[in-house]
Amino acid sequence: MRNQDPRKTPFPARENWRRMKNRIILTVITVLALLPAIPLFLILFQLLKEGLSSLSLDFFLHLPAPPGEPGGGGIANALVGTLIIVGLAVLIGVPVSILAGIYLSEYGRHGKLSETIRVCADVLQGVPSIVIGIVAYAWVVKPMGHFSALSGSVALALMMIPVVVRTTEEVLRLVPDILREAALALGVPYWRTVLKVVLPTGMVGVSTGILIAVARIAGETAPLLFTAFGNQFLTLNPLEPMSALPLVIFNYAMSPYEDWWRQAWGASLVLVFMVLGLNIVSRILARKIAGEK
């Protein structure tokens, strides 16, 4: 029966059933694929519902007030604290990570040392954040004799280092060898080639890695509990205890006061949107790299 009109299938009924099956399975899979996105939207919905009411200009500009006081105070100290603690963590963690990433990609690519560093970075990434906090307590808080923003930054830096090291390595490896050769053929020493050609070419990717790492650490609470500790007042001194958004959320949510709970929701909303913003910016950057190729 092969010589029939090729557009007609020999068994039309079966063909329809096949098409039907295809459609059913496609629908099921699409629905299942949407499932992971649902929690995010539920979270955002919950945050907006509970937290939106506490958002106001005062919430961003004022210091915390005792429970029951009208107006309820704000989280200015925590916002500033998060910026300072995360900023310091970036200052501590990023240079080290970029240099390590450069070593892995440009110098020791296949060496034993590189393999060791890679394994260590992966293991460090898996260390629970509460343990990182305890270690930072032992290394910084104890010798200094008191809690400080700096010790919190050290803990957060430890958390971001493995992420930035690995992304830097991967991004730099993607820089085509012909660019390295172009520079070397001009008589440029290797270290200058790396710093002035390879690193700038991969800079967008490296920045993406840093943003992702920052988004990851900005919401970390456990490493700050016994390092930065928290502070009811606004301070800019990194050697003093300092507040941070996750700490405020933790303390307020644990408190017995209803207006503090509302504040915790508000602070959660701010924190989540900060992290979301960082993620979106890093995605845009990542798309920019993809577009350049």
Partner 1 sequence: MKVPYPIFRTEDLCAYYGDFMAIKHVTVSIPEHQVTAVMGPSGCGKTTFIRCLNRLHELLPGARITGKIYLRDEDILELDPIIVRRRVGMVFQRPNPFPTMTIYENVLAGYKLLGIRLKREEADRIVEDALRKAALWDEVKDVLHRRGTFLSGGQQQRLCIARALAVNPEVLLMDEPTSALDPKATLQIENLIVELKNTVTIVIVTHNMPQAGRISDYTAFFYMGELIEFGPTAEVFTNPKDPRTEEYLTGKFS
CB 140 within 8 A of CB 150: yes
Q: Does 179 bind partner 1 (CB under 8 A)?
A: yes
Q: Does 110 bind partner 1 (CB under 8 A)?
A: yes
Q: Does 286 bind partner 1 (CB under 8 A)?
A: no
Of 210, 220, 200, 206, the C-alpha closest to 279 is 210
Closest distance between partner 1 and the C-beta of residue 191, in Å?
A: 11
Give the C-alpha separation, 73 to 45, whole Å: 24
Q: Give me the half-sphere count of Cα atoms (radius 13 Å) on the Cβ side of residue 159.
A: 32
Q: Does 188 bind partner 1 (CB under 8 A)?
A: yes
Closest distance between partner 1 and the C-beta of residue 192, in Å?
A: 6
82 alpha-carbon distance from chain centroid: 14
Q: Does 115 bind partner 1 (CB under 8 A)?
A: no
Closest distance between partner 1 and the C-beta of residue 101, in Å?
A: 18
Which three-class secondary structure state does DSSP give residue 289? helix
Q: Does 186 bind partner 1 (CB under 8 A)?
A: yes
Closest distance between partner 1 and the C-beta of residue 291, in Å?
A: 12
Distances (CA, A) of 288 to 106, 235, 281: 24, 38, 11
Q: Does 200 bind partner 1 (CB under 8 A)?
A: yes
Closest distance between partner 1 and the C-beta of residue 189, in Å?
A: 6
Helix, strand and coil percent figures for the chain, each rounded to 5: 75, 0, 25
Nearest residue (CB) to partner 1, 67 versus 108: 108
Give the C-alpha separation, 7 to 9, whole Å: 6
Which three-class secondary structure state does DSSP give residue 126? helix
Give the C-alpha separation, 287 to 281, whole Å: 10
State which of residues 66, 68, 189, 277 lies at the interface with partner 1 (CB under 8 A).
189
In this structure, how many other beta carbons lie within 10 angstroms of the beta carbon of residue 70? 7
State which of residues 104, 136, 156, 183 lies at the interface with partner 1 (CB under 8 A).
183
Q: How big is the site for partner 1, counted in residues (CB under 8 A)? A: 21
Which three-class secondary structure state does DSSP give residue 109? coil
Give the C-alpha separation, 212 to 84, whole Å: 18
Nearest residue (CB) to partner 1, 1 versus 185: 185
Q: Does 292 bind partner 1 (CB under 8 A)?
A: yes
State which of residues 19, 23, 142, 192 lies at the interface with partner 1 (CB under 8 A).
192
Of 54, 57, 13, 108, the C-alpha closest to 249 is 54
State which of residues 185, 256, 290, 291 lies at the interface with partner 1 (CB under 8 A).
185
State which of residues 196, 283, 287, 288 lies at the interface with partner 1 (CB under 8 A).
196
Which position has the token pair 């798309």?
287
State which of residues 42, 182, 236, 276 lies at the interface with partner 1 (CB under 8 A).
182
Closest distance between partner 1 and the C-beta of residue 181, in Å?
A: 6
Nearest residue (CB) to partner 1, 70 versus 187: 187
Q: Which residues of the shown chain bind partner 1 in the complex (CB under 8 A)?
A: 110, 176, 178-179, 181-189, 192-193, 196-197, 200-201, 203, 292
